[in-house]
Amino acid sequence: MSEPIHILHVDDSLFDRELVQIILQKQGDFVVTTATNREEFEALVKTRTFDLVLSDFNILGFTGLQVLDTIKDASPGTPVIMVTGTGTEEVAVEAMKRGAADYILKSTQHIRKLPTTIHTALEKQRLHKEHTRAIQALQESEARYQDLYEHAPDMFASIDESTQTIRECNQTMADRLGYGKSELIGRSIIEIYHPRCKAKYEKCLTYFNQHGAIKDVELQMCCKNGDTIDILANASSIRDENGEVRYSRSIYRDITERKAHERKLQKSLEGTIYAITKAIEARDPYTAGHERRVADLALAIGQTMGLDSHQLEGIRLGALIHDIGKIQLPAEILSKPTKLTALEYRLIQTHSQVGYEILQDIDFPWPIANIAHQHHERLDGSGYPQGLHAAAICLEARVVAVADVVEAISSHRPYRPGLGTDKALGEIRCGRGQQYDVAVVDACLFLFNNDDFSFKK
């Protein structure tokens, strides 16, 4: 069974009280408590809780409007239904203005509908409470979101796509860049990016306009005090009803500390690679500087081909250590002043495989081990140690292979004098497209034909 509905009936007329009691008792789910004057009414509302108040409009020395005011203070939210025999429109309007849930005339015909009126008022109250709770929950959720948004570890901003100005940003962004929020809003985002990032930003903007998003793009921002921070940018587009981009929502993660660690690690890595290179050269004095010169040429070739900075760094470091496998070869073979025997040449050829085995377990961010493994492979499968063909050879190894051949033919060896760059370039020109990558050969020939490169002693 459902809980009974507790009604407080305020009326100084015995007849009217009994009539209401009879009608409501027939329903079986109402418990009615009566008050005949102001004192009884006020005493009851101070000590008890009621689901609904039913009040006459005119009570001796007391009015229904005063009942409304008292309930509003003593039991906010409790619905009040006014019952009166006056029946004027002014009375009804005034009662509803003061917060009455409903208004009925004091007649047998209308009183019989009282149970329905009460249930309707209680349902309205329930819906109102649910609505109020929902509004409150929404406001609390919005407050929590706003707090998270303002003080999140990442920087947030929305950018107007037509003007590239900042429409909104969080406090984290203002604090990290050293601005007040009002200083950032309305400012061009391009002014915030470091000038060296301008070309990259414009490229990102073109991509964003085509695809509606960018992901994990590394850029740099300038703080108000002149400091530079490294950031990882992500953005997505917000479109209008016509599908046109109105603005972008951007998230910027400060990766300054991470980049500083990366630079420190890379410096240590380079130092280690240089140390290994010197160790190799110490065992083979006739080829001292070979790997450095190969690295210089390979880097210049990669730059001419337009490779990105990450690939260029991998090519440079891979070239510096591409002959690491020679550390296992006997020094007398490396420095032998006469032509190698077939057995000695096969032994020399093992350096590519040995180099790969030395490097394969090191977690480089570039294919360093593959460069050592594949720099003697050829497009037609005539190379060693695996006899790879074409695309099976990584691009970085194809670049180093050409640089290695050009440097080796140009320079002196224990068993022969240097043959010069013309002979070296003739070799790669003849092997272009068959043994050596076309784009790599063309870039190398371009460098020498335009006097844009020469080997340093």
Amino acid at 271: G
- Rounded distance between C-alpha atoms, residue 87 and residue 397, angstroms: 99
Q: Where are the domains of the chain?
A: 5-142, 153-254, 259-449
Asked if 230 and 220 count as a contact pair (C-beta separation under 8 A), the reply is yes
**β-pair partners for 232:** 218, 253
Count the residues in the chain.
457
* In CATH, 5-142 is 3.40.50.2300: yes
Q: Which CATH number fits domain 153-254: 3.30.450.20, 3.90.1150.10, 1.10.10.10, 3.40.50.2300?
A: 3.30.450.20
Per-residue pLDDT of the chain (457 residues; tens, 9 = 90+): 478 899 999 998 898 888 888 888 877 688 899 999 999 999 999 999 999 999 988 887 788 889 999 998 888 889 999 887 765 677 778 888 888 888 888 777 778 888 888 889 889 988 988 998 888 888 888 888 778 888 889 999 999 988 899 999 999 999 999 999 999 999 999 999 999 988 888 888 888 888 888 999 999 999 999 999 999 999 998 877 777 767 889 999 999 999 999 888 888 888 888 887 777 777 766 666 888 899 999 999 999 999 998 899 999 999 999 999 988 888 788 778 788 888 888 988 999 999 999 999 888 889 999 999 999 999 999 999 999 999 999 999 999 999 999 999 998 877 778 899 999 999 999 999 999 999 999 999 999 999 889 888 6
- Rounded distance between C-alpha atoms, residue 80 and residue 286, angstroms: 106
Asked if 67 and 42 count as a contact pair (C-beta separation under 8 A), the reply is no
What's residue 287's pLDDT?
62
- The answer to pTM > 0.75 is no
Two tokens, residue 182: 């009002």
Secondary structure (H, E, C), the chain:
CCCCEEEEEECCCHHHHHHHHHHHHCCCCEEEEEECCHHHHHHHHHHCCCCEEEEECEECCEEHHHHHHHHHHHCCCCCEEEEECCCCHHHHHHHHHCCCCEEEECCHHHHCCHHHHHHHHHHHHHHHHHHHHHHHHHHHHHHHHHHHHHHCCCEEEEEECCCCEEEEECHHHHHHHCCCHHHHCCCEHHHHECHHHHHHHHHHHHHHHHHCEEEEEEEEEECCCCCEEEEEEEEEEEECCCCCEEEEEEEEEECHHHHHHHHHHHHHHHHHHHHHHHHHHHHCHHHCCHHHHHHHHHHHHHHHHCCCHHHHHHHHHHHHCCCHHHHHCCHHHHCCCCCCCHHHHHHHHCHHHHHHHHHCCCCCCCCHHHHHHHCCCCCECCCCCCCCEHHHCCHHHHHHHHHHHHHHHHCCECCECCCCHHHHHHHHHHCECCCECHHHHHHHHHHHHCCCCCCCC
Asked if 163 and 188 count as a contact pair (C-beta separation under 8 A), the reply is yes
Asked if 95 and 72 count as a contact pair (C-beta separation under 8 A), the reply is no
What's residue 390's pLDDT?
92
**β-pair partners for 314:** none
Secondary structure (H, E, C), 425-456:
HHHHHHCECCCECHHHHHHHHHHHHCCCCCCC
Asked if 237 and 245 count as a contact pair (C-beta separation under 8 A), the reply is yes
What's residue 211's pLDDT?
85
* In CATH, 259-449 is 3.50.50.60: no
| Max intra-chain CA distance, the chain | 134
